[in-house]
Structures are given as structure tokens and as C-alpha cells.
């Protein structure tokens, strides 16, 4: 359970820092257009912090970590989210600085989304196996 709490806390810290980075970089460069940096903050807080807080509550209810797929879910999901967010930061920073973006950045961001989706599939399979088949109420 501590692992989930630490993950949520780390995503909260990185989410707040990414919002600060977006605000300061665009202010420093007088950038007023659209950039992916504007949504990195919300991605980290929603898909990172809030998601892991929900998983923490579900862990308390259903002992998700006892499932075979839990560690796979945890590491695959985190890798997918980290890759996705990193590519958003790189692409957004290039946009703000007026640099040419590469198709490789978009491809890696797409790969990050795919890995994130695999992590979510593993999560739901594991959750389904941990919830009793019949309601015991």
C-alpha cells in the first residue's frame, strides 16, 4: 500500500512542478499560443495522483497487490504514463521555443499511450479477479 501512496505523492509533486514549468516558460518567452505543456499538469494529477489514490482505496478493499498481475500493472502503467508525459513535455517545450518537432516525438508519445492502455487492461483484469464473483451482502 505504501508503494501506491508514494506513487500518488510523486505524481502530485511532479504535477505541481509541471504547472509551474509551463507558467514560467510561457511567461519568460511571451508565448501565448496552444501547447501540450498546458495539459501536462492535469495529466499528471489525474492519471497519476488521483488514479493511484483510487487504486489505494481499492487495494484496501480488495487487496489488489495479492493478484498475480498487480506488479505488472504497476510498472507497465507507470512506464506508459512517464513516457507519455515526457513526450508531451518535450513536444510542448519545442512548441513554446519555436523549435521544429519531430515525428519521432509523436511516435514515442503514441507508444506511451499504448503502454498506458496495456497497464489499464492489466489493472482491470487484476481488479476483476480480486472482486468476489457473488455479492455477499
CA gap 115, 111 in Å, rounded: 6
Tell whether 95 is covered by a domain: yes
For residue 135, is it within any domain? Answer: no
Is residue 72 situated within a structural domain? yes
Question: 3-class SS at 130?
Answer: helix
Instruction: Decide if 78 is inside a domain.
Output: yes
Give pLDDT, residue 133.
83
The answer for residues whose C-beta is within 8 angstroms of residue 107's C-beta and 6 or more apart is none
Count of all residues that appear for the chain in the document: 137
Q: Would 113 be classed as within a structural domain? A: yes
Note whether residue 81 is domain-resident.
yes
The answer to whether residue 30 is domain-embedded is: yes
Residue 110 lies in a domain: yes
Which 8-state DSSP code applies to residue 66? Answer: G
Task: Give the total number of structural domains in the chain.
Answer: 1
The whole-number pLDDT of residue 12 equals 98
pTM: 0.93
Averages of pLDDT over runs of 10 residues in the chain (137 residues) are 97 98 97 95 98 98 96 98 97 95 93 98 97 73
Amino acid at each position: 500500500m505504501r508503494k501506491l501512496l508514494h506513487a500518488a505523492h510523486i505524481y502530485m509533486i511532479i504535477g505541481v512542478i509541471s504547472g509551474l514549468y509551463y507558467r514560467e516558460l510561457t511567461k519568460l518567452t511571451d508565448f501565448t499560443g496552444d501547447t501540450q505543456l498546458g495539459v501536462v499538469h492535469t495529466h499528471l494529477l489525474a492519471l497519476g495522483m488521483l488514479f493511484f489514490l483510487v487504486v489505494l482505496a481499492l487495494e484496501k478493499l480488495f487487496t489488489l497487490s495479492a493478484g498475480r498481475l498487480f506488479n505488472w500493472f504497476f510498472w507497465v502503467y507507470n512506464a506508459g504514463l512517464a513516457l507519455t508525459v515526457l513526450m508531451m513535455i518535450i513536444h510542448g517545450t519545442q512548441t513554446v521555443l519555436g523549435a521544429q518537432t519531430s515525428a519521432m516525438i509523436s511516435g514515442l508519445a503514441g507508444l506511451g499511450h499504448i503502454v498506458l492502455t496495456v497497464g489499464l487492461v492489466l489493472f482491470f483484469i487484476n481488479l476483476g479477479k480480486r472482486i468476489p464473483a457473488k455479492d455477499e451482502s
